[in-house]
Amino acid sequence: KRSASELGSALAMPTATPPLAFRVFLAFLAHFHLSEFALTFMFNPRELGVRSFLVSKPYVIAMSAASVEFAVECAWFSDYKRACVARWFYPGVFACVFGEWLRK
């Protein structure tokens, strides 16, 4: 028989770290673009093409710059980055899930 504290520990959310945050970010990013393609496939197949992924050259440049910024912050300001991720990770996940639900 498990105690209440053991059950609480089993259900506890993992500690948000910058590597976890970046992996979750990439998962949300992939889901967004693949789901946009899938929705175009289902509801507007005549317009289906590479553009259905909603990825453009400026977008790739901006996302690359953001990824470099994230890496630089992790390397040079690691204490600040860990604190920031710990504070904003779960509200960010909620915002992404809610935004996807609202959009789709």
Residue 71: the pLDDT is 96
Tens digits of residue pLDDT in 13-61: 778 899 999 999 999 999 999 998 899 999 998 988 888 888 899 999 9
DSSP string, 37-75: HHHHHHH-GGG-SGGGG---HHHHHHHHHHHHHHHHHHH
Report the pLDDT value the prediction gives residue 8, as an integer from 0 to 100: 57
What per-residue confidence (pLDDT) applies to 11?
60
pLDDT in tens, 51-100: 888 889 999 999 999 999 999 999 999 999 999 999 999 999 999 999 99
5-26 pLDDT, tens digit per residue, is: 555 555 667 788 999 999 999 9
Domain residue limits, the chain: 14-103
Tell the residue number behind the tokens 């977008």, with chain if given.
59
